[in-house]
Amino acid sequence: MAAECIHGLEEGLCNSCYPKAGPIVDVKPARRPTTRRTALVAPPSKLVVNVGEQRIYHLTHIRNLEIIVADGQIRADAVPVLDISSELTRELRRSAAVFDGVSVARYVPFFLVPNSALWEELRRGAANPRWSAAARTAASADFVVLASTVSAIPGAAVLTDGDAGGSLTRFASTPTDSERMLRRIRDDEYALYEAEALSPETFPFAEISLIGVANDRARDRVKNVLKDSCFAPKISVYPPWFQHPGA
């Protein structure tokens, strides 16, 4: 069994107990706008990275969890109980193509870090047009973070170096291209906090290994959703993922 920290997280996942492990960092530079990208200022490292082991995180409102569990999967075309994406975001993702005209909207999105730039902006109270009005007025403690790895994505996983709906965002799906992109992302802290991993059409809930929640009340709500299901992911209370970034 993998070693766990006092927060119930696997070794390398907890920022507090394992601050040097993994691509997650606690101190981040000032954010650049997420709608445009700038060129990397340094060449990417030549370190070989295992793309399949890269952790991925899907953010949703806790009210959507019951539908996900009932379906047994996160579906790109699902109609959520509480839609956290604005209509503008959905239109941009419907219009953007990954490869061969396949719309970004047909993919389930994941961040590469739990404290992504977009999620951090929401917790700061910024009125980013990518979030719905319901998301902006919801308490951060009412969100959950579903964690897994790239290797759990069925079919061809796609990595991006920014917002998948952005016009300047690049995509990678082959093993060589994905490894190269992940190296570049890890060498660019800005990109790391904006990048996405995309799962075509669906993502099996059975592959969610951990559900991060803000407090004991949220953990009890998640347990109640899961109690009659066949799923048993670890449920960990980890407040730093949900606090105001300045806390």
Q: pLDDT tens digits for the chain (247 residues)?
A: 455 554 445 555 555 555 444 443 444 444 444 444 443 444 445 566 899 999 999 999 999 999 999 999 999 999 999 999 999 999 999 999 998 889 999 999 999 999 999 999 999 987 788 999 999 999 999 999 999 999 999 989 999 999 999 989 999 999 999 999 999 999 988 899 999 999 999 999 999 999 999 999 999 999 999 999 999 999 999 999 999 887 6
pLDDT at 37: 40
Q: What is the pLDDT of residue 17?
A: 56
Q: How far apart are the first and last CA of the chain?
A: 33
pTM of this prediction?
0.83
The H or E element that residue 239 is part of is none
pLDDT of residue 149: 98
DSSP, res 9: P
Rg (CA), the chain: 17
- Element of type H or E holding 92: helix 87-95
Q: Detail the DSSP E strand segments found in the chain.
A: 55-61, 73-75, 107-111, 143-149, 158-160, 171-172, 196-200, 202-204, 210-213, 234-237
Q: CA-CA distance, 166 to 240, in Å (whole number)?
A: 28
| Spatial CA neighbour of 68 closest among 179, 206, 239 | 206
Place of tokens 């799962």: 199
| Distance from C-alpha of 165 to C-alpha of 198, rounded to nearest angstrom | 12
